Amino acid sequence: MSPQRDRGGASYRLRVARAQSWPLWTGAGPGSLRQQYLPGTRLSVNIIILDDYQDAVRKLKCATLLEPLNAKVFTNTVKGIGQLSVRLRDVEVLVPIRERTHFPRQLLEKLPKLKLIAQTGQVGTHIDVEACTRLGIAVAEGVGSPTAPAELTWALIMAAMRRLPQYIGNLKHGAWQQSGLKAASMPPNFGLGMVLKGKTLGIWGYGRIGQLVAGYGRAFGMQVTVWGSESARAKAALDGLMVAPSCETFFETCDVITLHLRLHDSTRGVVKFDALSRMKPTALLVNTSRAELIEENALVSALNRGRPGMAAVDVFESEPILQGHPLLRLENAVCTPHIGYVEQDSYEHYFRCAFENVVNFIDAHPTNIVNPEALRVLR
């Protein structure tokens, strides 16, 4: 397989192992669908997989599911409806990688051939499902796993609390046992770091990821305190965890706070500057969920004022971020490039489900469709 080039950069074809006959959903009129067979020929379906930054998808074991379909993989990202509509103008089946690209109504209306979006992971606000339904674009939901993001959360907590990125970076420049965190505004010996045992771990959101992180905290001898919705607090109490009496107390008393909320209208910007400024100057805020949970510019402002003393962040409002991003310039911020789900087991898990949804759709047996009404729309 050799790389292909277009205006946006490198793209690749998944290796085609053999020719097969595959049925394809096509509209036959309002309220009905028909199958179109191509006996004895390789099916020509324009399948595009977007934003594969590390050129990993074609090397997955589950990629064999799409071998007969000659899918195209883009390893770079383009932004803007204009550029995306050019790249995707002939796409029939689209496989996005999580929320790396957004699909608003304005873009969807420019993709007249699109029949299916097979999401990797859960369908979120990055896809205008209502517009998809109106336009006759089926949206298939994938599967998720809390393991990888929970483990990354814990890795960030340990790395930030022990100042590992700072120590490692300075060691590579010849500085022995120097974290570099010595600003006058920082607490005494802040650069030495701290152990987790005996500290208070605050978890905002007690779903599957939050529950795993709570277990890690207990295993490390931390007192775990939960804040969140009424149901989340009730579940945490049943599990024997402390529940914060108020949001203010939660931010004031926890040594580490980690966010584990889904992004929707009621959680967008839910973490305010005032809440962050209540945190201890030695405290750590971790966000591996969604950047938009924190009101715009609040975290950078709070870190510049020393409350919290440190942040560990895996998510950003516009990705990929540029080298000059404000958080990257702060010595008390540890940043990773949205890798919460980026590891081999999760990729196999996510893409196998998405590819099975693609094959089933083409094979006239659509699965996991969140908007079945779209299947009845002529397109």
| Nearest in space to 299 (alpha carbons), one of 278, 276, 282 | 276
Strands 138-140 and 93-95: unpaired
Active site residue 290: yes
Distance (Å, rounded) from C-alpha 31 to C-alpha 283? Answer: 57
What beta strand segments (E) does the chain contain? 4-6, 9-13, 24-29, 32-36, 47-49, 72-74, 93-95, 116-118, 138-140, 200-204, 223-227, 242-243, 256-259, 284-287, 310-313, 333-335
Neighbours of 178 (CB within 10 A): 16
Distance (Å, rounded) from C-alpha 202 to C-alpha 251? Answer: 8
> Do the Cβ atoms of 256 and 199 come closer than 8 Å?
yes
3 state SS of 28: strand
Which of 109, 319, 331, 343 is an active site residue? 319
Distance (Å, rounded) from C-alpha 368 to C-alpha 117? Answer: 11
3 state SS of 21: coil
Which of 87, 163, 278, 338 is an active site residue? 338
| Nearest in space to 23 (alpha carbons), one of 370, 360, 352 | 360
**Residue type (1 letter), 342:** V
Active site residue 338: yes
Distances (CA, A) of 33 to 45, 91, 164: 17, 19, 57
Which of 163, 260, 278, 290 is an active site residue? 290
Active site residue 218: no
| Nearest in space to 24 (alpha carbons), one of 375, 371, 272, 359 | 359
Q: Which residues are part of the catalytic machinery?
A: 290, 319, 338
